[in-house]
Amino acid sequence: MLPAIKITDHNSNGNWVEFYEVQSESRPGVAYVVAKSRKGTWGCSCPAWIFQRGQHGDCKHIRHVLNQIARNVQPAPYLKSILTSEKIQKIVSRFSLIEV
């Protein structure tokens, strides 16, 4: 999986304060947003997390971000976001509807 990209061009949204873009391995051109809440819990915009809400633990995208943070891995300079600012804002706004 490619390194996650920290999303910095947005405002925190209620309970969700830190956001990362993770590109899908199985669906080229698709990316998900992983978010950290003020309480320290994590969420993801992928279908597995949205429909299961952590019933089976964190999704692979959250685990990927946590592993990257633990290893202090920085994205390669050539790695660019595939999500537009508008798409990121739309996804981030949905997180405000999720209770943590």
**Residue reference for tokens 């300079």:** 77
Classify residue 100: in a domain, yes or no.
no
* pLDDT value at residue 94: 75
Q: How far apart are CA 88 and CA 37, in angstroms?
A: 16
**Domains in the chain, number:** 1
Structural domain boundaries enclosing 12: 5-95
Q: Residue 54 carries which side chain, given as an amino acid letter?
A: G
Classify residue 50: in a domain, yes or no.
yes
Residues 46-79 pLDDT 10s: 988 888 765 767 899 999 999 999 998 877 666 7
Classify residue 52: in a domain, yes or no.
yes
Classify residue 30: in a domain, yes or no.
yes
Share of the chain above pLDDT 70, in %: 82
Between these two residues, 99 and 28, which has the higher pLDDT value? 28
